[in-house]
Amino acid sequence: MNKRIKQLRYYFLNKVCGTKRDVPIFIFGYHKCGTKLLGKVFLQLSLKYGWKFVSIAGSVDEIPNADVVFFLHSQVDYSKLPKEYIGIHMVRDPRDIIISGYLYHKRTVEEWCVNKNFQTENPIVYPQVPNSQMYRSEQWKIDYLNSLEGQSYQEKINALNEEDAILYEMNHYGKWTIEDMLKWDFEKANALELKFEDVMENYDENMMTIFKHCKFSDAQIAVAKTIADKEDINKMSKKDIEKHKHISSVKTKKWQRFFNENHIAYFDKHFSEVIKKYNY
């Protein structure tokens, strides 16, 4: 599918469809935590049933009036959530988030990651900084751009040896994601809690749990299952997986192959709180 057709599909979902669900579905995710997977499944379901689908990168001032809202970075003002909604929250081992992010940022063409606009006179906006960091102060953004020393984020990582590059990712995008994970409030969000690793290990069972949690009818579950089956990387050939640029490996617990003693010591010193919070 070419870029123009994709744009038209998103335009239709966001501008034309009226809200058709009695209770909206809110998906809360993080970078490299199965966002592509859940996004694809629920986008296709929205297209099938004429639901309005909105995907939000970073923080938002107002909650959109839509059937399915995907908060890509779970940056949510809980006081603005409606009284009734169906929530889904998926996390991942933060050590794997760091490694998956590191591998992804080495090759992605996302605008913020290859950005080389370092001006600081005017307000700093995406893609000078990632959407997930747009909530930061202007001074934080200036300091971030200056810290790149004339290189894009991607150039910075690729110029370092692997040990230092992983530490860099750990102290930048990995750290930013961990900060968002630590801000998550289980009680205020009221969502089905999922771990990416569990979903990958028992894909069919967990997908069924998600669909039942969304209170889909039997007919909707059958459709959702068909859509989800096509996104199961465990059932994909190596050739099919290579077509998905966001997938670096079908394996979980990649961090065990990349972290050395220095990485482990540094992570344990600075990020042990998130391990305890999510039971990893």
CA dihedral 186, 191, 195, 199 (to 10 degrees): 170
Predicted local distance difference test score (pLDDT) of residue 242:
53
State the pTM of this model. Answer: 0.88
Higher pLDDT, 263 or 16: 263
**Rounded CA gap, 126 and 191, in Å?**
29
pLDDT tens for each residue of 124-169: 999 999 999 999 999 999 999 999 999 999 999 999 999 999 999 9
89 has pLDDT over 80: yes
Buried b vs exposed e over 172-189: b needs ≥16 C-beta within 10 Å? Answer: bbbebbbebbeebeeeeb
Which residues does 97 contact at the CB level (< 8 Å), separation at least 6?
30, 31, 32, 33, 174, 177, 178
When pLDDT is cut at 50, 70 and 90, the band that residue 18 belongs to is low
- Looking at 84-194, list the stretches that DSSP marks H as alpha helix, in order from N- to C-terminal side: 94-105, 111-114, 138-147, 153-159, 162-170, 173-183, 186-189
DSSP 8-class letter at 132: G
11 has pLDDT over 50: no
6 has pLDDT over 90: no
Predicted local distance difference test score (pLDDT) of residue 1:
40
Closest CA to 258 of 53, 54, 134, 93: 93
**Rounded CA gap, 80 and 43, in Å?**
24
Which residues does 70 contact at the CB level (< 8 Å), separation at least 6?
27, 29, 35, 38, 39, 42, 53, 54, 55, 56
Q: Worst-scoring range by mean pLDDT, 21-35, 213-227, 248-262? A: 248-262
Closest CA to 104 of 249, 223, 3, 273: 249
**Rounded CA gap, 26 and 89, in Å?**
9
9 has pLDDT over 70: no
Predicted local distance difference test score (pLDDT) of residue 140:
98
Q: So where are the chain's domains?
A: 3-91+185-241, 95-179+250-278
- Calculate mean pLDDT across residues 34-47: 96
When pLDDT is cut at 50, 70 and 90, the band that residue 251 belongs to is low
197 has pLDDT over 80: yes
Predicted local distance difference test score (pLDDT) of residue 111:
98
21 has pLDDT over 90: yes
Which residues does 156 contact at the CB level (< 8 Å), separation at least 6?
148, 149, 168
pLDDT tens for each residue of 90-100: 999 999 999 99
**Rounded CA gap, 168 and 176, in Å?**
12
Closest CA to 133 of 185, 75, 64: 75
Closest CA to 220 of 1, 50, 13: 50
DSSP 8-class letter at 252: S
Half-sphere exposure of 39 (CA within 13 A, CB side): 18
Paired tokens of 14:
């966001």
When pLDDT is cut at 50, 70 and 90, the band that residue 240 belongs to is low
Predicted local distance difference test score (pLDDT) of residue 233:
77
Predicted local distance difference test score (pLDDT) of residue 232:
87
Paired tokens of 223:
């459709």
8 has pLDDT over 70: no
Mean confidence (pLDDT) of the chain: 90
